[in-house]
Amino acid sequence: MGLDRREVLKLVAGSSLAALAPAFARAQTVGGGSGYRATVMLFLYGGNDANNMIVPTDARHADYARLRGDALAIPQGSLTPLTGTNFGLNPAMSDLASIWDQGALSWVLNTGPLLQPLTREQYSNSPSLRPANLFSHDAQQNLWQTAGAQSELTTGWLGRIGDRYVDAGVRNPSISLAGSQRSLIGDRNSPILISGNNLSLYGFSPTDTSTRTTTRRAAFDAMLAGTQGSRLADITAAIMQGDLDAGAVLNDVINGSGSIVDANFLDANGNDVNSSLATQLKRVARLIEGRDRLSATRQTFVVSTGGFDNHRDQVGSAATNGTHAGLLNNVARCAHGFWNVMKALGMDADVTLFTMSDFNRVFEGNGSRGSDHAWGSHHFVVGGGLNGSQLLGRYPELALGGPDDARDDGRWIPAVSVEEYGGALARWLGVSDADMPYVFPNWSNWNGGGRGPIPLFA
Amino acid sequence: MTEAFSRIGRVMGAALSTLLLSGAALAGDLSSAISPTARSVSITPGGTATATVYATVINRTDSALGNCTVDMPRGSPLDVSWVWTNAADNSAVPGSENTPFSLDPRGSRALALAFTANDEFDGIASPVFECSGGANADVLYGVNTLALTVSETAPADILAIGIALPNNDGVIRIANEGGRQAMAVAAINIGAADTVTVRPVGVYGLNDRLPATLTICESGSDGRCLSSPVSELSVSFAQSQVRTFSVFAQADSGIGITLAPANTRVEVRFLVGDRLAAAAGAAITAPGPSFQTDQRDALRLAQQATFGPTSGTIEEIRRRGIEGWIDHQLTLTDSTYADLAGQIVNTSYCSGIPYPCSRDHFSAFPLQMRFFENAVHQPDQLRQRVAFALSQILVVSEYEVNMNYALATYNQMLLDNSFGNYRDILEGVARSPVMGDYLDTVNSRAEAPAENFPRELLQLFGLGETLLNADGTPVLDNQGRGMPAYSEQDVLEVARALTGWVYPTRPGELPSPRSPRYYDRDMSPYPAEHDNGPKIVLGVGLPAGQGADADLESVVAAVFQHPNVAPFVSRQLIQHLVMSNPPPDYVARISAVFENNGAGVRGDMRAVVRAILLDPAARTPSTDYETGGKLRDPVLLTTSVMRLVGARTDGYAFLRRISALGQVPFESPSVFNFYPPDYALPGGEGLQSPSQALMNLSTVYERHNLLYDWTYNGYNGRWDWNPLGDFPGSTGTQIDWTPWGRLAQTPERLLDTLDAIALEEDLTPEQRAAILESLRHRTNNDPLVQAEIQARQAIYLIVTSPQFQIDH
């Protein structure tokens, strides 16, 4: 029993091969205006301690300092003020304050996976209402990326947005610069994954048309085209074929000359930014710069940075330096650099960058100058299309065992669900009311009754 | 010129065409043979030297061929001329010098060839036999080539003047398995007197030893040995002296020698110093035991249980049988990291000591070198495969624990227990200071129990997240939802139970939370920080006050006895060894062995591994289309290529290249390994393909480019094969392509071999034709160089194919 090659290609339709097939001009039927729009998800792997990212500067700071402990607490005077609010930023993230002041950044406070709106009492008395496998890295990463709450979903909410694009004939080559990410996997589309610079096949120069080379290529292609012994192998071979086809186009976009990206990827002080995350975001920027060559009208990107799982020694000689501060500094400078490029490209209103992470960390420090796994967390969103400079959601009441604490050490029960956060982005990307339940399986729990997408956009 | 021919005409026998009848050349319209195949002649400065040999050309077609000639390839410094000879007495046909000849259908022509040189020469001459219409003969080393030495110092010029065999067909035919057969060789020295080494040599396929013992004696006129046969002789050869020798081939027991005249031969080499003065050879064949295991099944087992099939491994599996080979593997213990584990240094060891101290002691580098060297070369392949699987289930990583001796200690524990008991593995992991450092059990205190290891012990090392049936499928509640295998409370209870451990104490010290990082032996209990209250772990009560050590034992026992362990561990081991989507009944059969090895023992890895490989699902001759298949991860892909081609490597080449493919052993980015066991194949409608997680647009290119470099572009001395100068004992990587080149002289046979040992015989006629066509355009003036580069190109096309990259 074999699988017809065309059937295989249909199965992976929307993956790299189909996404870059010769451009076709179908009317865009997914709503939300015309032109190009893209979201960039920045995943902070390991569980970012958002408690030290944005901190109240009013009377609550005393509670903050007491509960976190001397090792972790950032002194009030060290925080970078967030204009017009009672909050300050970790000084390592001062670059974000500059974007905030330009009206192109908002904060979403205490957000995370939820099955339905949840109180401390419900959490304690009704375990069936809790999301699955709280406090576990990969389970919570999956819940953030799939919006499954209690179900193990194999597709992600960005991937399911992509399914709707595929259904509507919208060109949506989703791209991960961060390896395989469940968030971008849909039933009818899957992401192009780019992890390095090298997208050319050794031994096959495009200008070499000698018989020696063309016959070798013909043999290479014949090996690739063969029918395999299993469905797994047939699909894998089709993916390989698709990636080779896509790479030929992408190579030029990512590595070609004439890009303005590198020159404009600057932090708030005008300095170049170089890190793995910066490299990923520069490639995203180049892909946006070259969007017409991919014939893309809607795109979803994923980038990531890791190292946030600091059970010990997350701070250095002071809470304002050390491992965590270094990680946040890179994130903020990269966000600034990316924002700066989007402005230079004139794409700032059409591109939105947002963060996700496994979970927040326990508010109470753990005695090893680190912090352990918790739940509801704070995130930021950058883009010219935002109704910017907003604090959305609700900052938790800083009391161990208080109404916002799932346990007794500061594991915040989210005030905003992944659906409400992601829903705002989905709507901006053009997902209709009718399609929201497809993208977010638990949408009925978040639609109405005072709940729904948070008002991120103007 | 006739003069020159007459000089050897007297002494040559007429056994030449018999060599051809043994079917040496299968491709091409012509076959040709030369005798002798080595000559040494002298030259005076400014003069010309001539070396003459006999040749036979056979028309293998059913049509007459005309205008046949002999020529040297373009660019050769040698010239060749020919004269027709009478087959009966080797006498030259008058007036036939350099006269084109014709060949009847299936007919032959006897010739004498004269090679002339104007300068010194030491190499292989490969004349081109060609008739009108492009009919030609393939070049076969040692059959129609001449090893020629032209030297200004008068050399001994030995002519092997006759081979005598019972059947007189140029084949040493050993009658019985393990039997013995003699071959007589006569030689004459028509050059200067010299001391000559006479050595029988086995030529056998791809870098492997001919499975026969060869000895030689000088014999008298009655054929009897003048002295006992030895492996080689040294004789004083006077000018014009004729000597006779007997060569004995004693076949190994338990293995057959297939008749393959170009590749499986016995050569008698006459050496003056290092110089080959003459050679005479014959094909050899011997019957083996009747193999119960067919080639394809042996290849599949090699894919499942080794770091890559080789012709030798496949043959060994066929010889021992599936079960016999597995049971033999279960006894092997060749690989070790013990010496690396013994290189204990303190945490400030390299302060003030320049690089590479940090590399050698504060990174996984020496361990990684050893891993790849072992994977390519050490015989205990199955043990290594299982240990590698365990290292990807019970993950520790250089990312957090960077000391080489620590990582070596941990991985030696996995190697030691690969065929041990999973309970001991869990306990070893729980007590290991390497894991204790990696996941924070070290210095976990009663007042702040660390949850990191406890959570992963349950989620990754023992149970998995959801409750499983014995066949590995999830247990569902009445609403069709999965059920958690453990509760958040279980994590907390395990965390409490595992408080009060510190780094192992060094000699003369007491356990202390302030002990520096130290990884030799197990963690030490530190009672003052242990939570002595009662705990309940997975429903098992741990009484108060039993202490850290007993609590750890109880936790390990509670996890090990949980019904999830058998399907959770069994399924992952199957995924690592055999297939990515094992059918539930396969998992159930292995789970049952995990539960009870037949002697009432739970967790017996030896029994589990054996059952995984002997199960019908692993041994079925044609894999099930719906469930079969396993994408080779980067480690297995690269090791299998190196093993296939017969590389010698110290492992360094892998470390220069493999990070681009996303899988550097012992450097997992997190405790979740390089890829998740349930990674969904995009478009796969529920199929899982764990290592697909490492395949993306970039790595599809990187995989290709690495394979291209190591095969098509695999010349010795390339940048990533060079030794590492500052690493003791580093030898780099070398591949001897000569045997492949010999095989590629018959391109069809090369593809037959590759198809059989690399592709499970699934090359289609179209693919075969496309490869052969591409090889036809890969030419070189030197036919032997051409054969090698054609071999490398064919291997490149095979190993980059999906058929090779994905196991059936």
Distance CA B55, CA B113 (A): 7
Measured CA distances, A306 to A167, A277, A309 (Å): 34, 9, 8
Flag if B803 and A190 touch (Cβ within 8 Å): no
- Phi then psi for residue B103, to 5 deg, are -130, 130
pLDDT of residue B10: 39
Contacts 24+ apart (CB under 8 A), B85-90: B85/B5, B85/B9, B85/B54, B85/B110, B85/B111, B85/B112, B86/B110, B87/B14, B87/B17, B88/B14, B90/B9, B90/B12, B90/B14, B90/B54
Give CA separation, B217 vs A106, A208, B240, B243, B247, in Å: 92, 58, 20, 11, 7
Strand order in the sheet with B242-251: B158-164, B180-189, B242-251, B212-219
Q: Mutation test of the interface with chain A: which of B499, B694, B701, B768, choosing the one with the most A Cβ atoms within 10 A?
A: B701
* Region B247-264 average pLDDT: 80
Chain-centroid distance, C-alpha B702: 22
Buried b (16+ CB within 10 A) or exposed e, B374-405: bbbbbbbbbbbbbbbbbbbbbbbbbbebbbbb
- In terms of pLDDT, which residue wins out, B544 or A255? B544
Residue among B484, B488, B493, B492 nearest B465 (CA): B484
pLDDT of residue A12: 36
Interface contact flag, A236 B760, Cβ < 8 Å: no
CA angle centred on A298, ends B691 and A456, rounded to 5°: 105
Helical (H) or strand (E) element with B113: strand B108-117
Pairing of β B101-103 and β B180-189: unpaired
- Supply the pLDDT for residue A167: 82
Instruction: Look at residue B252 in the predicted model and tell me its pLDDT.
Output: 85
Alpha helices in A80-168 (DSSP H): 94-101, 120-125, 137-146, 157-168
* CB-based contact A236 B695, cutoff 8 Å: yes
Rg, C-alpha atoms of chain A: 23
Residue range B174-225, pLDDT digits in tens: 888 888 888 888 888 888 888 999 999 988 766 567 889 999 999 887 778 8
Q: Extract long-range pairs of A208-216: CB within 8 Å, 24+ residues apart.
A: A211/B777, A212/B777, A212/B778, A215/B770, A215/B773, A215/B774, A215/B776, A215/B777, A216/B774, A216/B777, A216/B778, A216/B793, A216/B797
Q: What is the pLDDT of residues B634-665, one digit of tens each?
A: 999 999 999 999 999 999 999 999 988 989 99
Of B580, B695, B774, the CB nearest to A232: B580
- The predicted structure's pLDDT at residue B532: 96
The minimum CA-CA distance between B627 and chain A, rounded to whole Å, is 7
pLDDT for residue A19 is more than 60: no
Q: Which residues of B touch A366 (CB under 8 A)?
A: 448
Instruction: Give yes or no for a contact between B9 and B190, defined as CB atoms under 8 angstroms apart.
Output: no
B437 has pLDDT over 70: yes
- Dump pLDDT digits (tens) for A290-339: 988 877 889 999 999 999 999 989 999 999 999 999 999 999 999 999 99
Q: In this structure, how many other beta carbons lie within 10 angstroms of the beta carbon of residue B727? A: 17
Examine the pLDDT at A117 and tell me if it is beyond 70.
Answer: yes
Between B156 and B629, residue with greater pLDDT: B629
For chain A, the helix, strand and coil percentages under 3-state DSSP, each to the nearest 5: 40, 15, 50
Sheet (strand B121-125) strand order:
B38-42, B146-151, B121-125
Sorted by sequence, the CB contacts under 8 Å of residue A77 that are 6+ apart come out as: none
Sign of CA dihedral A173, A174, A178, A182: negative
Give the side-chain half-sphere CA count within 13 A for A265. Answer: 22
Amino acid letter, residue B697: L
* Two structure tokens written together for B743: 């095989």
Report CB contact under 8 Å: B459, A230: no
Give chain A positions within 8 Å (CB) of B631. 232-233, 236
CA distance A17 to A240: 9
pLDDT of B781-807, one tens digit each? 888 889 999 999 999 999 999 999 999
Residues with Cβ < 8 Å from A411, sequence gap 6 or more? A135, A360, A362, A363, A374, A375, A376, A405
Superfamily of domain B159-285: Immunoglobulins (2.60.40.10)
Mean pLDDT of A244-256: 83
The CA distance from B19 to B169, in Å, is 6
CA distance A427 to B339: 61
Residues A286, A292, A294, A296, Cα dihedral to 10° = 100
CB contact at 8 A, B160 and B185: yes
- Tokens 């003369």 found at: B508
**How much of chain B, in percent, has pLDDT values that exceed 90?**
61
pLDDT tens for residues B548-560? 999 999 999 999 9
CATH architecture of B2-153: Sandwich (2.60)
Compute how many other C-beta atoms are within 10 angstroms of the C-beta atom of residue B751: 22
3-state SS, residue A438: helix
pLDDT surpassing 70 at residue B139: yes
Across the interface, which of B682, B764, B798 has its CB nearest the CB of A12?
B682
Q: What is the full DSSP assignment across B568-628?
A: HHHHHHHHHHT-SS--HHHHHHHHHHHH--SSS-SSBHHHHHHHHHHSHHHH-SS--TTT-
Interatomic CA distance for residues B216 and B214, integer angstroms: 7
Of the listed ranges A435-444, B153-162, B430-439, B757-766, the one predicted with least confidence:
B153-162
For position B29, what pLDDT does the model report? 81
Which residue bears the tokens 């109180």? A119
Chain B residues with CB inside 8 Å of A154's CB?
A: 680, 686
Peptide linkage before B354 cis (omega within 30 of 0): no
Spatial CB neighbours of B331, under 8 Å, sequence gap ≥ 6: none
Fill in the amino acid letter for A126.
S
For the purposes of burial, counting CB atoms within 10 Å of the CB of A37, is it exposed (0-12), middle (13-18) or buried (19 or more)? buried
Q: What are phi and psi of B22, to 5 degrees?
A: -75, 5
Comparing alpha-carbon positions, the chain A residue that sits nearest to B807 is: A233
Residue A233: its chain B contacts at CB < 8 A?
Answer: 628-629, 631, 802-803, 806, 808
Q: Tell which of A128, A230, A304, A364 to mutate to test the B interface (max B CBs under 10 Å).
A: A230
pLDDT digits (tens, 9 = 90+) for B692-701: 988 878 889 9
Q: Which residues 549-588 in chain B show a CB within 8 A of chain A?
A: 580-581
Residue A251 and residue A249: Cα distance in Å, rounded?
Answer: 6
Looking at residue B207, what is its pLDDT?
Answer: 57
Dist. CA A442–CA A393, nearest whole Å: 19
Residues of chain B with Cβ-Cβ distance to A224 below 8 Å are 801-802
Residue type, B346: N
**Any B CB within 8 A of A218 CB:** yes
Name every chain A residue with its beta carbon within 8 A of the beta carbon of B670: 45-46, 137, 306, 309
Q: Nearest by CB to B808, which of A11, A199, A229? A: A229
Nearest residue to A45 (alpha-carbon basis) of B543, B585, B772, B669 = B669
pLDDT at A349: 96
Cβ-defined contact of A235 to B709 (cutoff 8 Å): no
> What does the alpha-carbon distance between residue B144 and residue B142 come to, in Å, rounded to a whole number?
6
Kind plus residue range of the DSSP H or E element containing B491: helix B488-497
pLDDT at B206: 66
pLDDT of residue A179: 80
Query: What average pLDDT score do residues A427-450 get?
Result: 94
What DSSP element (H or E) covers A421? helix A418-428
- Least confident range from A169-183, B150-164, B335-349: namely B150-164
In this prediction, residue B61 carries a pLDDT of 83
Q: How far apart are CA A134 and CA B2, in angstroms?
A: 95
pLDDT of the residue at B28: 66
Rounded CA separation B569/B386 (Å): 12
Report the alpha-carbon angle B577-B567-B614, nearest 5.
40
Residue B513 has pLDDT above 60, yes or no: yes
**Token pair recorded at residue B386:** 């299982």
At B26, the pLDDT band (50, 70, 90 cuts) reads very low
- Whole-number mean pLDDT of chain B? 89
Structural domain boundaries in chain B: 2-153, 159-285, 439-563, 580-628, 631-807
DSSP string, B512-564: -TTPPP--SSPPEE-GGGS--S-EEETTEEE-TT-HHHHHHHHHHHHHHHSTT
Q: How confident is the model over A159-178, as a mean pLDDT?
A: 85
Answer for the pair B737, B788: CB distance below 8 angstroms, yes or no.
yes
Cis peptide before B356 (omega within 30 of 0): yes
More reliable by pLDDT, A22 or B368: B368
Of residues A307 and B257, which shows the higher confidence score? A307
Q: Average pLDDT, whole number, for chain A?
A: 89
Q: Which of B700, B771, B777, B793 to mutate to test the interface with A (most CBs of A within 10 A)?
A: B700
State whether CATH 3.40.720 applies to domain A5-202+235-445: yes
pLDDT at residue B6 in the model: 41
pLDDT at residue B747 is higher than 50: yes
Q: Which residues of A touch B762 (CB under 8 A)?
A: 226, 229
Asked if B709 reaches chain A (Cβ–Cβ under 8 Å), the answer is yes
**ipTM of the complex, rounded to two decimals:** 0.77
Q: Do domains B2-153 and B159-285 have the same CATH topology?
A: yes
Angle at A11 between CA A7 and CA A12, to 5 degrees: 125
Phi, psi for B632 (deg, rounded to 5): -65, 130
The stretch A142-156 carries a mean pLDDT of 87
Report which residue type is found at B714: G
The confidence score (pLDDT) of residue A3 equals 33
Measured in degrees and rounded to the nearest 5, phi and psi for residue B342 equal -80, -10
Mean pLDDT on B700-727: 96
Angle between helices B381-393 and B322-329 (to 10 degrees): 70
A-interface mutation test, from B575, B581, B687, B697, most A Cβ less than 10 A away:
B697
Question: Is pLDDT at A18 greater than 60 in this prediction?
Answer: no
Specify the higher pLDDT residue, A163 or B460. B460
